[in-house]
Amino acid sequence: MTLQILHAIGGLGLFLVGMHMLTEGLRGLAGPGLREGLRRSVSSPAKAAVAGALATAAVQSSSAMTVAAIGFVSAGIMTFQQALGIIFGANIGTTLTGWLVAIVGFKLDLGAALMPFVFLGALAQIFARGRWHDTGKAVAGFGILFLGITAMQDGMAFASDIVSPDHFPADSFLGRLQLVGIGVAITIVTQSSSAGVAVSLSALAAGVITFPQAAALVIGMDVGTTFSAVLATVGGSTASRRTGYAHMIYNVLTGIMAFALLWPLEWLYTARVDAGSPPDPQIALVAFHSFFNILGVLLVIGLTRQFAALVVRLVPQRADTVGGYLDENLLSDTAAAIDALSASTRALANATLTALSTLLEPHQRRAEGNGLRDLLAAREEAFLFAQRINIGNSASENALRLRSVIHALDHIERLAERCAQVEDARIVRAEPELQVLAGSLRHAIAIFLAPSGVGEDGEKRINAERHRISQHQDPYREQAIAAAGSSRQSLSDIVGRLDAVRWLHRVSYHAWRIAHHMRAMNPDAAAPATVDDRFTGGKTTVGGQETGSERKRVDGS
């Protein structure tokens, strides 16, 4: 008996391992094209739901689609309301696993025929690179998954001799509610609703449970998958927590609806049996699973805006700029993590450029020291997050985007430190010639920070002002030194003027490089990013690599 139980448990373990490998392989094969398709599918909730269902079916993971949606929202690529369609559709796509298990696992009974595929897939995963590596992982995972199903079937077949439907809660309202709770618990333990459905199908095939009992278990498994998602988002970003709560609320409501359908479903099933044409129990179970998920999407899709508003009220925007974007849950998806990091960096860049612009105002009288300290602390948090992202191929698009983010964070730190040099800024404001140059730089920064200005034109304007300051730097220094020779100013005043023009040139350089890398992070368009009041005193929105010798020449380090 113990051996058979271990056999069934081992089969579940094989299923989970195979599911993980299959998902990872399919995600690698899908590549960035899948994310791009999702990103372009949000023109309407219905299209987003269809895209979410197809994408989830393609990679066999609703969690992967949820993380991608969180990354899109964090980066400002799509609104939370638009991402809801993807989340709704993911619930439909994940039911494909049940169909694969019911049709391939139980009807075809591939058994030992899959062993060569596991071997070939393992070889490809170990020795191959690129798409062949991902193909090998997917093939090996597919084989292991169905070997796990075979092992579970064998274990359940033995269990049928000692366990019967009578050992489960009675077929009543309370009994079915208890079965839903058992389904929730199974999913929380296995961390996979697909594994739970596979267990239910195995138990149903072995006669351990009846069809109504299996249907109640599947409802619980559909609800249970959301609790792990909510727990994972605790303390996470605003987008992550909203997604977790939206997923939970939607699945609970869908589960309530499905629970109400158990009685008419049982009547239809019994009527077919009495008529002498009983339905296939495994097919009927996965059909019910798909049916109530599709029905749930159809009922909620027209209320997406109201549903999103409800979740936004339950989970308001966090005040912390970086904390509102960065989330450890996104580290499992490199592209999603970089999306969120880019959004955080854009917010910090916006804040830093705004701080510089404010410092250069002609009538500025005080420095925002606390704001700069907060900004530097936030930049450090973003940089630590960047260090934890695994980019894999150093020549990939993700690697290039991450490189631009790190360059931007470097210049953000340098510019913030320059903004703390308030005496240099005071002299710039006091010197008429430097004040004119500073005013032109402020104007270029304002154009770049405008929602329509984040692009090549905005970057070019800041760079043009940097060139203009550079051209004025040597003549201004000569004038200052000449003034020392004629004793019109003290030596300390002359040194202050020399430091001030050098400071103005440095901050203009850092502003230009920030603008350049901001564009390189997302060449399509820069999404709006809200800036914390602690950094700028108000809310604003914003939408290459330099050589080491140039940095050393300009920055002096």
406 — pLDDT class (breaks 50, 70, 90): very high
pLDDT mean over 475-480: 83
From CA 557, how far away is CA 551, in angstroms rounded?
A: 7
Count of all residues that appear for the chain in the document: 557
> Which domains does the chain carry?
2-314 (no CATH), 328-555 (1.20.58)
- Residue 95, pLDDT score: 87
Q: Say what angle helices 238-260 and 262-274 make with each other, to 10 degrees.
A: 40
Largest CA distance in the chain: 114
How many C-beta atoms surround the C-beta of residue 203 within 10 A?
24
The angle at the Cα of 362, spanning 361 to 364, to the nearest 5 degrees, equals: 65
Percent of the chain past pLDDT 90, that is, above it, reads 13
Q: Which residue has the tokens 């197809």?
A: 54
Q: Is the pLDDT of residue 474 over 80?
A: yes
| Mean pLDDT value across the chain | 78
**Structural tokens at position 433:** 């010639």
The segment with the largest mean pLDDT, out of 145-149, 168-172, 494-498, is 494-498
- Residue 413, pLDDT score: 92
Q: Is the pLDDT of residue 407 over 90?
A: yes
From CA 251, how far away is CA 212, in angstroms rounded?
A: 20
Question: Cβ contacts of residue 27 below 8 Å, gap of 6+?
Answer: 34, 59, 61, 64, 134
DSSP letters for 306-352: HHHHHHHHHSPPPS-TTTTT--GGGGGSHHHHHHHHHHHHHHHHHHH
Q: Please, are residues 468 and 440 in contact by the beta-carbon 8 Å criterion?
A: yes
Closest CA to 349 of 518, 122, 532, 140: 518
| Cα torsion 405, 444, 352, 316: sign | negative
**Structural tokens at position 259:** 């629970």
How many C-beta atoms surround the C-beta of residue 271 within 10 A?
10
- The torsion defined by the Cα of 56, 57, 62 and 68, in degrees rounded to 10, comes to -20
**Structural tokens at position 228:** 């792990």
**Range of weakest confidence among 200-209, 279-288, 337-346, 378-387:** 200-209
